[in-house]
Structure 1
Amino acid sequence: MTQEHVVSAHLGLRERKKRETRVALSQATIGLCVQRGWDNVTVEDIASAANVSVRTFRNYFSSKAEAIAASHLERMLRIADSLRAQPAAEPLWESIARVVQAEFVPQGEASVNAPRDQRWIDGLRLMLAEPALQGEVVKANAAAQEELARAIAERTGTDVTRDAYPKLVAAVVGAGSAVAVEHCMRPDPPAPLAVTLREVFEQIAVGLPTP
């Protein structure tokens, strides 16, 4: 292995470690804010839960809101990465529906009938309504759609700078996923996420065919 390859591998590993730390901090922030309430969670609490220093948290995020929004961005980046790995001959919307399902419902169909924790859902709903979070979510959505659009452009042979299609599909994927999650957070009747995601993307596929 050449020195260039060693450096490349090292940088790849370092970047993966950084992403893992970001995810751990983000998940710790979400968990604490859902359980305790937004105003009852400090950066010190988050750092302790993630087993890192406060300085480490500050190296990655400027606020609780930014940390929470990072989970959404990371999930959409994984969806873009997974889409690139799908069979090129497969219909686009079949690939999209599968990779979205895998990220939002990691356990697949085993999770369809799992009982929901209403206290968690109530806490999550309150957290997502926090005004401080809204701006960070908008920024995360923009970054997520940009990367997803690039993956879609590669898959469809379109140009992300000239063609509207990849950006349109990326926006629809984001909107469809958000609608499915919001629908499943209704207090009654229960709406399993796996089923709802499948229904949402089946309906999208009918109305937005691949060029």
Structure 2
Amino acid sequence: METTVGRRERKKAATRQALHEAALRLAVEHGPDQVTVEAIADAADVSRRTFSNYFANKEEALFYVDLLRIRRLVELVHDQPADVPPWVALTRATEQLVRETGDVDPLWVAQRRLVRSHPSLAAHQIAVYGTIERELTTEISGRLPQHPDTPLHAQVLAATLLSAVRAAIQHWVDHPERPLTDLVRTALDYATTH
């Protein structure tokens, strides 16, 4: 039974990835406003109904890998020892995530460029980051002394981290000659020293 469940989960993950890649490829080729859910489903060789089983809309399909990466960040923060201070836990987890992703996928870079050149995608990206900011805030709150301002403190830490990482990525897209890991580390240092 476990083999069947494992195979089914792998097949679902492969379908989700194929839909994401098709959405991104079509958005790069034609512009995100010209891409339909039907075109994405056709490109991934699945039905429109199958698409709907995985994503609510084309934006979700486009940002699927972003959501996975940022959810992985929450896991990595959670896995930090309980006695590690919140900012240290956040920065260590972020640096580990950047190391895990290794060489950056060209499709991911194309997605970053799409967001910058098509403001219609920015709203969805902000929503994704907002969701993750709330998850990081909850995770960090447990590492802070309980005080009436603890929720605010945790939210500021989470927002600062995400802003620094986003800035580093945007800079890297324009200046890829410097490794992303270095830029993320530098951005995180700036966030605490300036």
Which residue, out of 28, 33, 37, partners 1:43?
A: 37
Q: Any stretches of 5+ residues in structure 2 without a counterpart?
A: none
Which residue, out of 171, 182, 188, partners 1:195?
A: 182
Q: Which residue of 2 aligns with 1:137?
A: 125
CA drift of 1:64 comes to 1.7
Contact 1:81 1:151 in 2 (8 A): no
Which residue, out of 57, 63, 69, partners 2:51?
A: 57
CA drift of 1:85 comes to 0.7
Q: Give a deviation string over 1:146-166, Cα, whole Å, max 9, x none.
A: 111011112334479863111
Question: Normalised by the size of structure 1, how large is the TM-score?
Answer: 0.69
Which residue, out of 186, 191, 194, partners 1:204?
A: 191
**Which aligned pairs between 1:12-23 and structure 2 lie closer than 5 A?**
22=16
Q: Percent identity?
A: 32
Cα distance in 2 for partners of 1:17, 1:121 equals 26
Cα distance in 2 for partners of 1:107, 1:140 equals 19
Which has the higher relative contact order, 1 or 2, with Cα contacts under 8 A spaced 6 or more apart?
A: 1
Q: Which residue of 2 aligns with 1:183?
A: 171
> Equivalent residue of 1:176, what SS?
helix
Query: RMSD of the alignment, in Å?
Result: 3.7
Paired residues, number: 189
- Which moved further from structure 2: 176-185 or 60-69? 60-69
Letter aligned with residue 180 of structure 1 = A
Contact 1:65 1:136 in 2 (8 A): yes
Cα distance in 1 for partners of 2:126, 2:176 equals 29
Contact 1:82 1:99 in 2 (8 A): yes
Question: Normalised by the size of structure 2, how large is the TM-score?
Answer: 0.74
Letter aligned with residue 152 of structure 2 = A
